[in-house]
């Protein structure tokens, strides 16, 4: 692991998720440029002192020189966004698989460079779009793709948080400070942090691609350098229409990610804070409540469950599903989907299109399609 030292929220989440099914063991790390913090983190995690490296570069060089059976297999990158591309490319070029935090990079050009490195190295690249790992998201996607709802007409996704409602980024909160710093976060604040989650989920579950956006970026907290509120209209290539709302200044909200998709015959609704329930609504019959572990689930969703019906599974388990699929891909076992290069490139193109559109008087801006489709 690179990054994720003491006090860093997401590094601990990655470690828990990776360890949950026994597929991964944390063997080495460079957790912080502060060497005291780096060593303390390694000690806390029980790592051998010689495998707690003073720098990412030292970790790659030393690990690559070890015998194949002794070296690390993959690198988890849990740093601020501006380090994703250089670290991912270096790790891939050194022969290591990569599991990276989102967004993929801070520009489409950087994302393209990561994609090229992954292809050239033959190594796997995964992205932490955690919410796509929930069992009922898998069930929702399957039902949409087999045509249960009919032709898709409407896609609505919102992700509301309130934790940046006050200027905590100027008051010493490290997690807020880097996320509102263009040099470390990239061109999107709320847009890059949670807007990308909303966009990825909308495309993943609908099975459709957004071809154009009409967007507004707002910064409500005075002095903040990046957006803290996003509104976007979405035009899908299929003719469907969508709305995306993401905000980190929705005071009182916790983690309000909600997805609704409607077709010609019915619709579905899923909310991250009640993730074990999927609601199906129909034109010609009563609404249907689908529960994790309950009857009616398809085999792909069932494979993502770990406990009997009524035993709640949540964020860590969804994250672990991505790490489990990543491990299976590396081992050459049963291949399960996980978010990777395609999702990364799509979300980076979304960020650039939204930023461009919001800064112009143009009504619609196309999301360019690259080799990912």
pLDDT tens by residue, 234-285: 999 999 999 999 999 999 999 999 999 999 999 999 999 999 999 999 999 9
**Secondary element (H or E) of residue 90:** helix 84-93
pLDDT bucket at 214, cuts 50 / 70 / 90 = very high
Q: What is the mean pLDDT of residues 176-198?
A: 98
Predicted TM-score (pTM) of this structure: 0.96
C-alpha pair distances (Å), 353 with each of 198, 247, 369: 15, 18, 11
Question: 19-44: per-residue pLDDT in tens?
Answer: 999 999 999 999 999 999 999 999 99
Q: How far apart are CA 65 and CA 57, in angstroms?
A: 13
- End-to-end CA gap in the chain: 31
Q: What is the mean pLDDT of residues 108-116?
A: 98
pLDDT for 372: 62
Cross-strand partners of 350: none
Question: 332-356: per-residue pLDDT in tens?
Answer: 988 899 999 999 999 999 999 999 9
% the chain with pLDDT above 70: 99
pLDDT bucket at 7, cuts 50 / 70 / 90 = confident
The closest of 300, 302, 301, 276 to 289, measured between CA atoms, is 276
pLDDT bucket at 370, cuts 50 / 70 / 90 = confident
Across 84-93, 106-115, 333-342, least confident range: 333-342
Structure tokens at 54: 């003073």
Provide the mean pLDDT of the chain.
97
> Which parts of 79-133 are beta strand (E)?
97-100, 125-127
pLDDT bucket at 371, cuts 50 / 70 / 90 = low
pLDDT bucket at 369, cuts 50 / 70 / 90 = confident
Q: What is the mean pLDDT of residues 204-221?
A: 98
Cα radius of gyration (the chain):
20
Question: 300-324: per-residue pLDDT in tens?
Answer: 999 999 999 999 999 999 999 999 9
Q: How far apart are CA 168 and CA 183, in angstroms?
A: 18
Q: What is the mean pLDDT of residues 86-102?
A: 98
Q: What is the mean pLDDT of residues 130-150?
A: 98
Q: How far apart are CA 202 and CA 243, in angstroms?
A: 10
Buried b (16+ CB within 10 A) or exposed e, 139-161: bbbbbbeeeebeebbebbbbbbb
């Amino acid at each position: 692991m690179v990054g994720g030292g003491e006090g860093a929220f997401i590094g601990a989440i990655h470690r828990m998720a990776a360890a949950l099914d026994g597929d991964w063991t944390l063997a080495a790390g460079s957790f912080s440029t502060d060497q005291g913090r780096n060593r303390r983190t390694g000690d806390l995690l029980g790592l051998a002192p010689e495998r707690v490296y003073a720098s990412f570069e030292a970790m790659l060089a030393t690990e690559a020189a070890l015998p194949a059976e002794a070296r690390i297999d993959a690198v988890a990158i849990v740093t601020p966004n501006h380090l994703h591309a250089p670290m991912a490319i270096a790790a891939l070029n050194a022969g290591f698989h990569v599991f990276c935090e989102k967004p993929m990079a801070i520009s489409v050009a950087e994302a393209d460079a990561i994609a090229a490195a992954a292809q050239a190295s033959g190594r796997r690249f995964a992205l932490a779009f955690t919410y796509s790992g929930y069992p009922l998201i898998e069930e929702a996607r399957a039902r949409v793709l087999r045509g249960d709802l009919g032709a898709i007409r409407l896609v609505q996704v919102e992700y509301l948080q309130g934790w940046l409602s006050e200027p905590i980024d100027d008051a010493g909160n490290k997690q807020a400070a880097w996320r509102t710093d263009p040099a470390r976060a990239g061109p999107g604040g709320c847009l890059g942090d949670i807007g990308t989650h909303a966009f990825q989920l909308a495309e993943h579950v609908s099975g459709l691609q957004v071809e154009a956006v009409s967007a507004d970026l707002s910064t409500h907290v005075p002095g903040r350098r990046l957006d803290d509120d996003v509104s976007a209209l979405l035009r899908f290539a299929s003719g469907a229409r969508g709305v995306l709302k993401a905000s980190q200044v929705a005071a009182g909200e916790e983690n309000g990610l909600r997805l609704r998709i409607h077709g010609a015959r019915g619709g579905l609704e899923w909310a991250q804070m009640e993730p074990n329930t999927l609601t199906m609504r129909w034109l010609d019959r009563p609404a249907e409540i689908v529960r994790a572990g309950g009857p009616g689930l398809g085999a792909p969703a069932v494979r993502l469950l770990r406990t009997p019906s009524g035993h709640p599974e949540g964020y860590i388990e969804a994250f672990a599903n991505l790490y489990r699929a990543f491990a299976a891909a590396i081992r050459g076992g049963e291949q399960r989907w996980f978010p990777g290069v395609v999702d990364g490139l799509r979300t980076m193109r979304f960020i650039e299109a939204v930023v461009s559109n919001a800064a112009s008087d143009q009504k619609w801006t196309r999301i360019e399609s690259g080799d990912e489709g």
